[in-house]
Amino acid sequence: MIKMRAVIFKKHGETKELEEAYVPIPDLGKRDVLVKVRACALNHLDLWTLAGMPGAKITMPHILGSDVAGEVVEKGKKVHGIPLYKPVIVAPGISCGKCDYCKSGWDSLCRQYRILGFQENGGYAEYVKVPARNIIPVTKQLSMEAWASIPLTFLTAWHMLVKRAAIQKKNSVLVHGAGSGVGSAAIQIAKLFKARVLATVGRQEKVKCAKALGADEVINYTEKDFVTEVLRFTKAEGVDIVFDHLGGETFTKSIHCLKKKGRLVTCGVTTGRSVNLDLRYVYSRQLSIVGSYMGGIHELERIVRRVRAGKLHPVVDKVFPLREARQALNRMIARDHFGKIILKP
How much is the pTM? 0.93
Smallest CA-to-CA distance from 287 within 328, 244, 317, 320 is with 244
* Whole-Å CA distances, 260 to 31, 266, 326: 49, 18, 44
Residue 75 has pLDDT above 80, yes or no: yes
Query: Would you tell me which CATH number, out of the four given (3.30.70.330, 3.90.1300.10, 3.20.20.70, 3.90.180.10), belongs to the domain 3-150+315-344?
Result: 3.90.180.10
The whole-number average pLDDT for the span 53-68 is 92
Element (H, E) at 314: none
The whole-number average pLDDT for the span 8-34 is 96
Q: Would you call the peptide bond into 314 cis, given omega within 30 degrees of 0 as the criterion? A: no
Report the C-alpha gap between 258 and 285 in whole angstroms: 9
Element (H, E) at 203: none
Task: Yes or no: say if 189 and 217 are a contact pair by the CB < 8 Å rule.
Answer: no
Q: What is the pLDDT of residue 186?
A: 96
Q: How many C-alpha atoms does 275 have within 13 Å on its Cβ side? A: 21
CATH 3.40.50.1820 fits 154-291, yes or no: no
Which are the contacts of 23, defined by CB distance < 8 A and separation ≥ 6?
3, 4, 6, 8, 61, 63, 125
Residue 303 has pLDDT above 70, yes or no: yes
Residue 285 has pLDDT above 70, yes or no: yes
Name the band, by pLDDT with cuts 50, 70 and 90, for residue 271.
low
pLDDT digits (tens, 9 = 90+) for 246-267: 777 788 889 999 999 999 999 8
Q: Which residues pair with 290 in a beta bridge?
A: 265
- The CA R_g of the chain, rounded to the nearest whole Å, is 20
Domain ranges of the chain: 3-150+315-344, 154-291
Report the C-alpha gap between 243 and 255 in whole angstroms: 11
Q: What is the pLDDT of residue 270?
A: 66
pLDDT digits (tens, 9 = 90+) for 120-138: 999 999 999 999 999 999 9
The whole-number average pLDDT for the span 289-299 is 94
The whole-number average pLDDT for the span 171-182 is 92
Identical fold, 3-150+315-344 and 154-291: no
Name the CA dihedral angle for 59, 41, 244, 48, rounded to a multiple of 10 degrees.
30
